[in-house]
Each structure stands twice: as C-alpha cells, then as structure tokens.
Chains A and B, each alone.
Chain A
C-alpha cells in the first residue's frame, strides 16, 4: 500500500541526489519516495523547489497544517488523470437541481447511517439514537432543497454530539460542538480528525478524474475543494469518531495531551502523534469487500466512493453511498 507520511517534528525536507531526506537537526532520515502517496506536514518544515520538483515527479501530495493542527492547504503536483468528459458530466449533476439534491441526500444519508451505527452498541446512548432516528424519519421525506437538507443534518449532528457525553470519560465532557475555535479537548479532537479526513479524501479524489471543486451538498464556493467536504461526511463518523472513542475510552489520550491558548484548545505534539498513529492504523485496517471478494482498507473505501461517483456521472451506475455492513 502507498504510504502516508506524517511529519510532526520541525526540520527540513531535502533532495540529495536521488533521495529525499527529512533532516531533524543533524539527524538525516531517508524517505522511501517510491512508496509514499502523501506527506502531511505538522511541524515547521523548510523545503525548496528542488525538493518540491522531485516530490511532484512521484505524484506525491503535500498537505500542510498550522500550529494548532488545522489544515491550511495542499501542494498538488500536476494532475495526470484528467478527463474532460467526466468533469463536464460532474458539472451537469451540479447544475440540475434534482440531480444535485439526489447526491447531497446520499452523502447525508450515509453520514447519518454511520452516526447511528456508532451509537447502536452503546446502551448509554440509546435515547439519543432513538432521537436521531425520529428526526431522520420525520425529516428525510420532506426535503425540497439543499438548505433544508443541511438543516436536518445539523439537527441530527447536534443530538449525535450531545450523546458523546454519555459514553466518553467525564473529563472529556462537551457542552456543544464548536468549530472555530475549539475551546475544549473533545472539540479539538473532532476538528483535528476532520482536517485529516478532509486532506485524505482530497488525496483520493486527486488520484481520480473527479474535479474536487465541484460539489453537491456543500456549495462549490464554500471551499476550494468542496467535493472533499462532501465525501468526508461519509467518513467522519466512520473513521474520525471511532478513533476518538477508542483513544479516549482506552485512556490513550488524557487531558495532559492538550494545550490551551487564549482562544484555542489543541493537541500537543505528543497528543498529535498518538492520534495520528491510531488514525493511520484505522485507515489501513481492512474489511472483506463482498463484491470484490478482496480486502479493502478504510482508505480504499474512500477511493471506491470516488469510483462510484464517476460511474454515476458517466451514466453507468446510479450512486449508492457506503453503508458500512461489517
């Protein structure tokens, strides 16, 4: 499997002859460039065009995060897989109101399905699960536009996040979900994890013919690569939240792994490392795929979602979003 590399230390990415190194002080680590798909940069890292050009030869994507762990942007090498045909048809699905709503609904449906899946086994959260089911069944058939769909999703997400207090350790209680800035540990974790899912999804989209800027649930004007936001919805509860539950309930992450600024609460370096390790483990975890009769990793499932969208756009097969069956 092509690897993701996470650089949490400060240092320098440097090309020397035909090797890429990550230098931390006097220490020099060679990077196995042939097997790297993407590099996530969390620390303060210097790099020059010589390194960038070399990295782009291998089609490697660089994702950058700020001090707090928020996604700031990506360096995407020149795209190889371009199909004008796919892009035009993707745009047609955005322009047609019905077609757009269908896809937007699919993303939300899958997200809600995975939220419910996360609560299903937790006795303590039963009332919340029922509340979500109610809200969903009541609302899903009365949606006539994206705003209503977003509203429904927002209401469900609120109930969902409230339920966390029922089964996460008490010191990680959360009043409400706040995005920017997160001022308590659980919000900091959710934001950090969502940043990661966003960039990983972008990497997968980038390997296909999809145009990351044409989206359906989110407005294309919202963010540069808003299709990544759309597809991320499916994987946030499936990947990010389960990683958070595991790390907190196993006491692998404690309050000491968080730092607080005037406005922010965020993971410190040690905390980031713990989170990234578990997150990467999750991405690499495989599940037997029934149709393919092959093992597919969680990361692979993100790619398959992209494939299904392409098939939908070219009129091959109607999109049916992932519903984790395992």
Chain B
C-alpha cells in the first residue's frame, strides 16, 4: 500500500511541476485540493484512456518498488499522454521530473510524450541542465504552495480552457 501511495505522490508532484509552468495560481489551488472536474474533462479522459490502454504484453508490470506499472513500456521508456502539444515546456518538465525521480532510485530511462490527437510523440532524455531545472522547479513549488494566499489571477490565453476559468473570473 505504501508503494502505491508513494506512486500517487510522484504523480502528484509531477502534475505540480506541470502547473508551475502553466499557471502558478493553478498550482497553488491544486496544492490545496481546490480542484474542479469539468464534464468535458471526464469525457475526454475516458476517450484517451480507452484509446491508449496498451495491451499488457507491451508493458512491464513491475519495475521498481512495485511502482510505475502502467506508464513504463517494454522498451524501457516512461510515457505520458497529453491532449495537445500546446503546453510543451510544462509537459517536458513533468516527464523530466519522473526521469529525475527514477535516477535517484538508480534507474536510467528515457521518456516519451504521446500526443495522440496530433499522432506525434516526443522522446526525452534527462540532461544535467534539465536535472538542474527540475531541482529549481521543486524549490519553487515549495515556495509557492507554502504561501497562505494564492497568486492573483492573471488573464492569459489558456484561462479560457482552464477548469478554473469560472472560479478565477466569475
């Protein structure tokens, strides 16, 4: 059980890294469990999971600590599925964080980001520069999420499709 919890913690941190690059306010709200699930999210998620639930033969079931099972493919990569490549830097950093985490465990892997809608994938390797960036990001997350009030809302393009849109601007 502990392992599974640890796994969701890794995922959780990964999403935070992603949000750090998208919107710091979103990161703060998410870190306080203030989340809203929009109906369209649900539908989309269901669709993607359905399309990309790879057959078992393709994945290694147990890799480390009984942890990352579903996301590690048999070719030794970890994979993230993203809806679009719009948030590229954020997505890359999220995967870099997973690679960094694995490296602490003594496991070297490469990362793959699938963009199913665009029928595209991106292969990533953890470089020393990225490693440094991940460490910086973790520090910054700590700083933002320990503040007692959220960073103020700032209108940007992605607000319109953000699940917090009505929360921030209504």
Contact = CB atoms under 8 A, between A and B. Distances in A.
Chain A bound to chain B: yes
Interface of A: 2, 80-86, 207-209, 289, 291-292, 296, 300, 303-304, 307-308, 310-311, 314-316
A85 B33 contact: yes
16 contacts: A81-B35, A81-B36, A82-B33, A83-B33, A84-B33, A85-B34, A86-B33, A207-B36, A300-B166, A310-B167, A314-B32, A314-B34, A315-B149, A315-B150, A316-B150, A316-B152
Given A314-B149, A314-B150, A292 B34 contact: no
Nearest to A209: B34
A84 B150 CA distance: 16
B35 to A, nearest CB: 7
A86 B170 contact: no
Contacts of B150: 314-316
A35 to B, nearest CB: 8
Given A315-B148, A316-B149, A310 B166 contact: no
A198 B36 CA distance: 22
B170 A308 contact: yes
Contacts of B170: 289, 291-292, 296, 304, 307-308
A291 B170 CA distance: 6
A104 to B, nearest CB: 22
Question: Top 10 nearest A-B pairs by Cβ distance?
Answer: A83-B33, A315-B149, A304-B170, A85-B32, A307-B167, A316-B150, A83-B34, A291-B169, A83-B32, A292-B170
Nearest to A208: B36
Contacts of A314: 32, 34, 149-150
Nearest to A310: B34
Contacts of A209: 33-34
Contact of A304 (B35, B148, B149, B166): B166
A80 B167 CA distance: 17
Contacts of B39: 2
Contacts of B32: 83, 85-86, 314
Nearest to B43: A34
B16 to A, nearest CB: 15
Contacts of A85: 32-34
A308 B168 CA distance: 9
